A and B are shown apart, each in its own frame.
Chain A
């Protein structure tokens, strides 16, 4: 069942992420040496290499890692929390809330006024969505009513996004919204990293700190409670962490689908179906997948950039279908 030991799996994943990270950093239209860029940075020399690598490529690659890892961890956390391998990070309406926040900013053209409006509105949207889910479901609610409330919030947010598209002030605004919703890491700068990273890292800490609870939850909420966990407290920390890191990810990348669903699903057998370990493995897996998809997007030499979210969905959809067909016998 478990062919490789967990530390080795994590070591290999970390190496793979590091290699892909460096490869992505050295890749681009301009033939530029990364080693030269590092030398110039350390030597405080202004050079073309330094500018391209540190100001254009690095933010994008860093965001790919942050967003990818977040989607992986959040997917693993949600699947563990809901005890369902088909759960994805957006199931409680958090991603749609974040997307709605961003769309409102784009609709009113506030993103032109100052770049930081969009990420902040997005994170705020995610948190508001979570609060609404809690208010709808009640603070001492069952998991099922949380999901129902999440679906309701998600549907409402998507409806409001459609309203914004319907009444978009101009074709340009509409295009901006649609492209943003598709999910991309193009044209991001280091400020995006600075805005998103603190929220993402706090979110990760909250999710990773629920390692033991997610394990105990394998046996159900009641048994987990009998094993010395306070389900209410654990849930609050877990969902707050989710809203923070997913909100911040959506804020800087738009909606990137399927990563949070496919990555934990794929890695689960490799960690012996251990929900806690899956969190860690999925962080690396998600980072690797988004880094790879972003490399693919940049490789394609076409007039209009293919959006990252489109690529992950194109890869993820059929792949997930295949997984379902393969494991169908277990569920039916």
Chain B
């Protein structure tokens, strides 16, 4: 080996690194999270995403306080147009549309968060162990993960959901997680493999650390951005999948959610009656929630890929 002169052109990178050095220590897990949040916030697109997501989370948490009516109360006039009493009108069954939209946020945010979290936990567990341990089982896992990646997820979800008939939110989370963990596992594995060949991992072996400790204290903290990224990715997919399944009538159609609203809108011929708000509002909410997560991921990308950071290059 010879002498690469590592950082002549990287002067500015070095200077930036030195500046960050003055920031509070970031060894504690909290510090790592803090640094991640700060980096994400520094990207304007991601800031918009955080604000949007914050809005929906507030809506979800405080839905009962904000919503003007009980979303399942069908005692109003049917298919009413906008009015002071019903800002978005009423459904064909006589429910208040605005209240349904507000309560629908709870379902989507809940499904996105729980399914995203579960998928990420599975992805991290499988990705890390599979990336760290060299064995023949690795090839088998590789094959299984690739299989789950290429098998079209939605048809698989539809088939499973059809067998489990009207299982409600729990069933939807289950099928979303079953089909949604593979992507994260693959990304995390390749990162684990590249990190495990780094000298600091070998050095930890020489320091007598156990494999578990090496995986969780040396490798895992260096993948924060990927883990956060795969969480948001999985959550987006979960929100879209949940809406899709409910739109097909595969969930519990009495649940108040944006997907079921669209299901009822199509089934009650909102298209023909011209009540466009029934189609427009729930879909827009789903899109905005999913967009907010993608926007945050722009900031998360910046954590790991400095070249993608904002700014013109030429």
The judgment on whether A and B are partners is: no
